Structure 1
């Protein structure tokens, strides 16, 4: 599947939030934490705020690195979410929503006081499926 964006950049604020998450979860790769963040935001029923995000950090990754083996599934989840939100699934819409969801998800994870170790991420992921 063709990705909505070739290179994913994040804001300086998101980089600082990810750095904190790296320390507490011991997950060393930005891309893995970003996948968690995207999924966390996609699980929210509301749309992310339509804000301009300054992509000013030095953290950058290709879509392939970001998604890894899950890249097609992540893209399908993003497309489905955009379709459900009646936004359409054009490439520019997907790219914008990817950045908005990614940053919202990073903020949610970083702001969750219950996340103190990697197991807390697992618990968060399975909480609603019990």
Structure 2
């Protein structure tokens, strides 16, 4: 299945937020925290605001590293979400929505005052 992007860079803000999350959760891989953020955003009922993402950092990931063995599942989840939001599933839409969901989700995780430990992160799944 064709991924929405081959590689992507995080904004400087997202990089700083991930550094905070790494400190809190003790998860030191960017890709794992990015997956958590992406899924966190997909779980929201509203679509992400179409804001431009600026000030890209030096953190770059490939889809393969980001998604790992979950590549097809994450691609399908993104396509389903775009379909449900009435956006269509063109390659351009999928790429844009992936970036928006990724950055929104990272921001949500980093801004969650209840998130203080790895256990708090895993508890999000149970909510």
* Structure 2 length-normalised TM: 0.98
**Contact 1:37–1:104 (CA under 8 A) maintained in structure 2:** yes
User: Structure 1 residue 59 and structure 2 residue 59: aligned?
Assistant: yes
Within a 5 Å distance, the mapping from 1:11-30 to structure 2 comes to 11-30=11-30
User: Structure 1 residue 84 and structure 2 residue 69: aligned?
Assistant: no
What are structure 2's unaligned runs of at least 5 residues?
Answer: none
Q: Which SS does the other structure have where 1:9 is aligned?
A: strand
CA separation of 1:28 and 1:126: change in aligned 2, threshold 3 A:
same
Measure the CA separation in 2 of the matches of 1:112 and 1:30. Answer: 18
Q: Which structure 1 residue ranges, 4+ long, deviate > 2 Å from structure 2?
A: none
Match of 1:103 in 2: 103
1:16-48, CA deviations, whole angstroms, 9 ceiling, x for partnerless residues?
Answer: 000000001000000000000000000000010
User: Structure 1 residue 48 and structure 2 residue 48: aligned?
Assistant: yes
User: Structure 1 residue 2 and structure 2 residue 10: aligned?
Assistant: no
What are structure 1's unaligned runs of at least 5 residues?
Answer: none
Q: Which has the higher strand share?
A: 2
Measure the CA separation in 1 of the matches of 2:8 and 2:113. Answer: 27
Displacement after TM superposition at 1:55 (Å):
5.1
Cα RMSD for the two superposed structures:
0.7
Measure the CA separation in 2 of the matches of 1:44 and 1:11. Answer: 21
**Contact 1:8–1:63 (CA under 8 A) maintained in structure 2:** yes
* Structure 1 length-normalised TM: 0.96
Q: Which SS does the other structure have where 2:24 is aligned?
A: helix
Match of 1:68 in 2: 68
1:63-94, CA deviations, whole angstroms, 9 ceiling, x for partnerless residues?
Answer: 00000111110110000000000100011100
